[in-house]
Chains A and B, each alone.
Chain A
Amino acid sequence: MASTACFIIVSKNDIPIYEAEVGSAAKKEDAAHQHQFILHAALDIVQDLAWTTSAMFLKAVDRFNDLVVSVYVTAGHTRLMLLHDSHNEDGIKSFFQEVHELYVKILLNPLYLPGSRITSSHFDTKVRALARKYL
C-alpha cells in the first residue's frame, strides 16, 4: 500500500463528489489540503488529455514534487483521480476499474442525482477495501 494516496471522484461539472485519503501515512490536515490542491490543478491537464486517447485510464498525467496524479476518465466524463507516490501502474488500473464498477452501481440508483455527492457509506467502505487491495 502506498504511503500517501488521495482518491477523489470529480463529476462532469468539476465538482468533487467523493474524497478519500487512502494512504497508510499518518493523516495531516495540511497534507490533505495540499493533495486536493494538486488534484484540482491536474484537472486542467486531464481536460485536454481525455480527448486525445480512447483509453479510459490516462495513467500518470501530472506530478508535483514526489506525488503523481493518475486519472481514469469514465464515458460520462467523471474523473477518478488518484494522487499517489508509488508507481504500481497495474494496481492503480485495477483499482480504477473496480471503483468505476462501484460508481456505475451508484449511478444506477434512481435516487442518486448524477453529479451530486456520493454519500453511501457502503461505497466508501468498498473503495477503501479496494485501495488496500491494489495500492
Chain B
Amino acid sequence: MEPDVSIETGCMIRIAVLPIGPIPQPHLRDYASMLVRHRRVDLSNISSFYTEHQKSPFANQPWDSGSLRFKFMLGGSPLSPWEDFQSHRKILGVIGICHCASSPDLELVEEEFASACKSYTSALVKRCFAFCPGDSQLEDGGRKGDNLILFPPADHQTQQFHLQTMMQDIAASLLMEFEKWVLRAESSGTILKTPLDSQTSLSSEEVIKAKKRRLGRAQKTIGDYCLLAGSPVDANAHYSTASELARLTGDFFWYAGALEGSVCALLIDQMGQKDPVLEDEVRYRYNSVILHYRKSFMQDNAQRVSTLSFELEATLKLARFLCRREHAKEVVELLMTAADGAKSLIDASDRLILFVEIARLFGTLGYHRKAAFFSRQVAQLYMQQDDCLAAISAMQVLAMTTKAYRVQSRATLIKSLASSDEISDGGKLNPQSVVSLFESQWSTLQMVVLREILLSSVRAGDPLAAWSAAARLLRSYYPLITPAGQSGLASALTNAADRLPSGTRSADPALPFIRLHSFPVHSSQVDIVKRNPGREEWWLGSAPSGPFIYTPLSKGDPADSNKQELIWIVGEPVQVVVELVNPCGFDLTVDSIYLSVHSGNFDPFPMRVSLPPNSAKVIKLSGMPTALGPVTIPGCTVHCFGVITEHLFKEVDNLLLGAAQGLVLSDPFRCCGSPTLRNVTVPNISIVPPLPLLVSHVVGGDGAVILYEGEIRDVLISLTNAGSVPVEQAHISLSGKNQDSVISVAYETLKSALPLKPGAEFTIPVTIKAWQLGTADLDSAGGKNNASMGRLSKDGSSPMLLIHYAGPLVQSGATDVNSSTVPPGRRLVVPLHVCVLQGLSFVKARLLSMEIPAHVSETLPCLDNKYSDLISGGKPDSLVKIDPYRGSWGLRLLELELSNPTDVVFDIRVSVQLENKMKEDKSTFVVDASDFGYPETRIDRDYSARVLIPLEHFKLPILDGSFFVKDSKSDANQGSSRSSSFSEKNSKAELNASIKNLISRIKVKWQSGRSSSGELNIKDAILSALQTSAMDILLPDPLTFGFKFAKSSIPPANIVDLPKEANILAVPPGSKGSILAHEMTPFEVFVRNNTKEMIKMKLSITCRDVAGENCIDGSKATVLWAGVLSGISIEVPPLQEIMHAFSLYFLVPGEYTLVAAAVIDDANDILRARAKTDSPDEPIFCRGPPFHVKVIGTA
C-alpha cells in the first residue's frame, strides 16, 4: 500500500529526486522545496520544448487547458511489483540534486548520478541539477553531457525561474517519451504481468489465457500513459476498450484497474468540478472497482500476494473523494470497512499506512477522537518496531492525539488558544466553561496516552518530551498513581533532566502545586496613604467631589470595589505569600522558586524549598520593584526536577474550582491538609516612584515598657528616614486603645526636624501614663505578672502613634503640579508597647466624720463653710488646720484603703490642690493652687494601708427647698458675701459640680523605687464614696449652734444682731480656752438659722461633766447657773443668728461639755426632709456639737 493515495494519483508522473554527493541538510531542503513547487506543469507552457517527431497518439490532448502532474519521490522509492499494472507506480524520471560547493568534481557527480539511475530502469528522463557551481565548474560543466544542468549562482527568483524552465523541458521530454512508448506498445505485443499471475512457469493454458488478456491489459496501460500525458479523453477511450476486453476475458483485476483509471480520467476531464451527478457517478464506479478488486482476491495465492491492498486503497480513495461533512456517514462506513481489512493485511507497514490514512481521513472529517484513536493504533505499530526512528514517529503521532485526549502540552495549548481566540476575558469563567475545562476527563485514556508518550519519547531519545509527558502525568493524575509509580515518574523526570542542558524550560509544569495565598498588605510600618493636596491634613481622604457627602453613583462600580489596589514602591522589597503543596509520596526539592513577572519591572528573589511527602508549605516570595508601571503576577517560575517551568496561579484556581464541583480527581491542597482559602483576589499592583520611609525604634530597646498602673514615664522614639526621598511633611496623631494614656508628644521636636534628609535621624519624647487594668486583665495578670507581660503588650491594648509623613509634593524632574500626580504619603504606626502591671489597688473609700469637741473661747469657732475662706490670710501651710479650740466642725475624713499586691514598695503622697477662688470680701483674694506636703505613706508589698484625707471645705451655707439656694444676702458676721445668685434649676447641677470639683483636686501620687512614679486614679472611687452620703455631707443642718465667752459680764438678754466687731475682740492669750472655778462666767450661745424660713424653737443648754452626768440639775449639781438654760422659746429669722446669754458658775474644776439643743416647733417640710422624718407629728430635734470647757482652779 502507498500513503496519501487519492483518485487523482493515477495521473501523476513519479519522479525520483536523489541527492548526489554530499549536500548540507538545509541546502537539500531548500532545493527540494524549490523543486516540489513544480508539481504541475501546464501543457501550454511546454509547447516550446515539444517537438512532434511522429504523429502523436494523444489525439485529444488539451494543449490549452491540460497539464502534466508530477509526484516527486524524495530519496527515491523501491520498485513496485505492481508497476506494470498501474503505470503511475513507475518511476518515470530521475532528478539528481547536487550542491557543487560540497562536490567539486563534476565528473564524479556525473558518475554517481549515472549509477544512482541504474536502479530506476523505467526512468525515461534523467537530469542532474547542480546548484551553486563555482566559476571553474561552470567552464567545466559546458563540456559535460545534457544530463548535468548547472544552475549558476543567482538570487532565489532567478533560480526559481531557471528551475521552472528546466522542469518544463523535463515535462516536454517525458511527453515525447510517453508518445514513443505508446506507439511502441500499440505495435509490439508487450506481456504485462502482475504478481497475481503465476510467475514461475507458464502452462500452455495460461499462455493462451495471457494472450487473450494481453490486448485488454495493453489498452489499460496505454490509457495509463494517456492519463500521465494529461490527455483524459484519450485515456478514457482506451480505458473503456480495456474494461470491455478485460470483462470479456474475466480479467477482473485489470477490469477494476481500467475502471479506476476511467474514474480518474473522468475527474481530470471535469477539472475538479464537483456536482452531485459526478459524485454519484464516481461513487457508483468506485463501488464497482472495490467489488471487482475483492472478486479478484484468490484464495490460492493469498499467502503470497493479495489484492486486498488494492481494495483498501480504492476504499480510501473513494473515502477521500467523498470526505466532507455531508457524506460523513458514508465515509465512516467506508473507513470502518477499511479498518476491518487491517486484520487481513499481511505486511505490518501496510497496516501502518492504512491506519495513518484512516486517521487522516477522520481528521479531515472533523472526527478528532476517531482520528486520535487510529493515530494511537499507528503509534502502537511504530512502537512494535524496535528502532529509534520508529519511536520518534510514534512520539510525533502520539503528540497529535493529545488534543483529542486533552492531555496537550501547554506549549501547543497556548498556540491553539491564541489562534482560536478562546481565551476568556478577564479571567472570569462561567460555569459552563468551567466544566469544559475538565471536559473529557477520560483519566484512564489520558494516563495511557501520556504513558505511551513518555515511553516513546524515552525510546526516541527526546528528553524534553519525556520530561513534559512525565510532568503532565504526575501533575494531573497523581491520585491515580501508586506512590511507587509516583517515585518512578519522579526518577523519570530526573533522568530526562540529566540529559537536558541546564536551564531548559518546559511549558508543562510538574510539581509542586502553587497557589496564591495572599498579598501581604503593607505592614503598618510602611503603609501608603493617598495624599490629598487640597487639605492641610492630607491623609484624611480626598475632598468630596460633589456637594453630597454620599454619592450612590460612586459606590456602584463593582470593578472598583472588588479589585483592591496595591502600591509597590521602587526599591522597597515586597513579599507575596504563596502556598506550595506536594501531594506525592516522595520528597520534593524545589531548587528555586520565584515570582514570574513578565512586565520586566520587578526583580524577584529566588528561594529554595523542600517539601516532604504529602505536605503543604506557605512561603513568602519576595522581590524588588525596579521601575514604574503596572505589575501582574501570573504565577511562579519554578526550577524543579532539573527543568524550569512556569506555574500559573490561574490554572490551580481552575483546578480547585473543578475539585469543588467534583469534576477533578482530587484537590491537592485539601488532601495535604491545607485549609481551603477564600478566593484570593489578585489586586491591581502598580509601582510608584520612591517615597520616604521612616523607621522607628524605641530608644533603649523595642521591648515593652513595663509600667505599674498609673505610672508616668517618658519614652524616647527615634525615627530614621530610610528612604531615598526627604520627609517634608509629618504629623503625629494617636490611635488605638488607651489613647489618653499618652500625656504628651513633643510635636515641636518633630516640626523642627523637618525636612528630614535620607538617612537622617531624630528622637521625640513621648510621655505615657499607664492606664488602669480592666477586671479581665486583672484576672489574667493576677499572680503572674511577669509571665503575662508579653501577652499584655501584644493584645493591642497599647496606644499607637500614627505618623503621617510625605515627601516633596512634586517629584524631582516632574514639572507640572497636577493633583493626580501627587506622590502618596505614608503612614508609620509606632505602637507604644506598654505593659501595664497591676500596681496599688484601691480597695474602698469611705467618708468618716469625727467629733472633737471645740473649746469654748472668746470667739466663736467658724461655724460653717466659711472655713475655706481662709480669712486669716497668708498661705496655708497645711490642708486642714487642726485648731484644738475649734473642734471637728465640718471636718470629714476621706479614708482610702489601698492594698499593694505587687512585689515592690510603694510610697503614697496625697495632695489636694486648692482651686483658685474669687472672694468678694472687699478685696479679691486669690489662693494659688498648691500642694501640701504630707508625710508619705509607705505600703509594703502584700500589705494594705489606709490613707486619710481630711476634707472640710464643703458645707453649703443654706438649707433650702431645693436643698439649698445661694442667697444673695451676705453674712454680715463673716463679712463674706455671695453676690452671685443662682437659679434653682442650676442648684442640683452645682451640687454635682462641686463634688466633682472637689474630687478632681484630690490627687494620690505614688512612688516606687527610684524610677517609677505615678498617680492613683481614684476619682471614681471617691465619687462613689461621696455619692452615698452626699446629702449628709453637703447640706448644712438647719440650725447651727455655738458657744463663746461673753465679752462682758452684762449679759444681753434680748436678741441682738451680732456686732461686727465681735470677731475682732482680742482674747487674752493666757486665759484662752480655760476658765476659773468659783467665778461666774458669762457665756453666749449663738443659734443660727440656715434656712430661709423663720424658725421657732425651744432652746435648751446642758452642761455635762467628764462622766457625762448632767451637772446642772439634780442633787449633786457641780455647776450653778444664771439665766435661762432650758425651754428658751426663741424665734430665729431666716439666715440670721440670735444670741442668748447666760452665766455658769463652776464649783468643781475639771472638764465640762456644753451642748445646745433645740426642739423646733411647727417644722416645715424642708426641715422634715432634712431630718428624714415622715410623720408630721414628730418633733424635730436639733443638737449642736459639744463644746469643751476647761475649768481650772481649786475645788
Contacts and interface: CB of A to CB of B under 8 A. Distances in A.
Interface string B427-453: 000000001101111101100100000
Interface in B153-200: none
A55 interface: no
A32 B439 contact: no
Interface stretch (B46-54, B366-374, B779-787, B1065-1073): B366-374
**Which of A13, A41, A63: most chain B Cβ within 10 A?**
A41
B336 A62 contact: yes
Given A33-B448, A36-B442, A48-B328, A116 B336 contact: no
Interface string A34-69: 001110110111001100100000000011110000
B339 interface: yes
A100 B519 CA distance: 50
A13 B372 contact: no
A77 interface: no
A14 B445 contact: no
B333 to A, nearest CB: 10
B1005 to A, nearest CB: 71
A14 B370 contact: no
A15 B445 contact: no
**Which of A38, A40, A65, A116: most chain B Cβ within 10 A?**
A40
B442 A40 contact: yes
Contacts of A48: 328-329
A37 B445 contact: yes
A113 interface: yes
A41 B372 contact: yes
Interface string B633-669: 0000000000000000000000000000111000000
B367 A45 contact: yes
Given A40-B369, A115-B435, A16 B448 contact: no
Contacts of A63: 336, 340
A18 B344 CA distance: 35
Interface string B364-399: 001111101110100000000000000000000000
B362 interface: yes
Contacts of A117: 662
A14 B343 contact: no
B439 A15 contact: yes
B237 interface: no
A104 to B, nearest CB: 20
Given A38-B373, A65-B343, A13 B436 contact: yes
Given A15-B438, A62-B336, A115-B435, A40 B445 contact: yes
B332 interface: yes
Contacts of B343: 65
Given A45-B367, A64-B339, A16 B442 contact: yes
A37 B373 contact: yes
**Which of A48, A49, A63, A117: most chain B Cβ within 10 A?**
A48
Interface in A22-36: 32-33, 36
A36 B445 contact: yes
Contacts of A19: 444
A116 B442 contact: no
A15 B440 contact: yes
Interface residues of A, number: 26
Nearest to B435: A13
Contacts of B339: 64
B218 to A, nearest CB: 42
**Interface residues of B toward A: which range?**
20 to 34
Contact of B662 (A32, A36, A113): A113
A62 to B, nearest CB: 7
B330 to A, nearest CB: 12
A65 B435 CA distance: 33
A44 to B, nearest CB: 4
A83 to B, nearest CB: 13
Given A13-B439, A40-B369, A44-B369, A32 B444 contact: yes
Contact of B370 (A41, A49, A52): A41
Q: Majority SS of interface residues in chain B? A: helix
Contacts of B367: 44-45
A116 B660 CA distance: 11
Interface string B1133-1175: 0000000000000000000000000000000000000000000
Contacts of B405: 40
B662 A44 contact: no
A43 B369 contact: yes
Interface string B322-346: 0000001100100010011001000
Contacts of B436: 13
A45 B335 CA distance: 12
Interface in B659-698: 661-663
Contacts of A13: 435-436, 439
A44 B963 CA distance: 103
A36 B328 contact: no
**Which of B332, B441, B442: most chain A Cβ within 10 A?**
B442
B413 to A, nearest CB: 18
A6 to B, nearest CB: 11
Contacts of A32: 444
A43 to B, nearest CB: 6
B440 A44 contact: no
Given A41-B370, A44-B367, A44-B368, A16 B441 contact: yes
B580 to A, nearest CB: 28
A37 B445 CA distance: 7
Given A40-B369, A45-B367, A113 B661 contact: yes
A15 B441 contact: yes
Contacts of B442: 15-16, 36, 40
A117 B374 CA distance: 28
Nearest to A15: B441
Nearest to B438: A15
Contacts of B438: 15
A14 B445 CA distance: 13
B435 A44 contact: no
Contacts of A45: 332, 367, 370
B442 to A, nearest CB: 6
A36 B444 contact: yes
A40 B372 CA distance: 10
Interface string B5-35: 0000000000000000000000000000000
Contacts of B372: 41
A37 B343 CA distance: 18
Nearest to A117: B662
B879 to A, nearest CB: 82
A19 B443 CA distance: 12
B345 to A, nearest CB: 13
Contacts of A115: 435, 663
A65 B329 CA distance: 19
A37 B440 CA distance: 12
Nearest to B372: A41
B441 A44 contact: no
Contact of A37 (B362, B376, B435): B376
Nearest to B663: A116
B369 A33 contact: no
Interface in A61-95: 62-65
A128 B328 CA distance: 35
Contact of B369 (A41, A52, A65): A41
A13 B339 CA distance: 28
25 contacts: A14-B439, A14-B440, A15-B435, A15-B439, A15-B441, A33-B445, A36-B444, A37-B373, A40-B405, A40-B440, A40-B442, A40-B445, A41-B370, A41-B373, A44-B368, A44-B369, A44-B370, A45-B367, A48-B329, A49-B329, A63-B340, A64-B339, A64-B373, A116-B663, A117-B662
4 closest A-B pairs by CB? A41-B373, A44-B367, A116-B662, A15-B441
Interface of A: 13-16, 19, 32-33, 36-38, 40-41, 43-45, 48-49, 52, 62-65, 113, 115-117
Given A13-B436, A40-B445, A44-B368, 8 more contacts: A15-B440, A19-B444, A37-B373, A40-B373, A41-B372, A41-B373, A44-B366, A65-B340
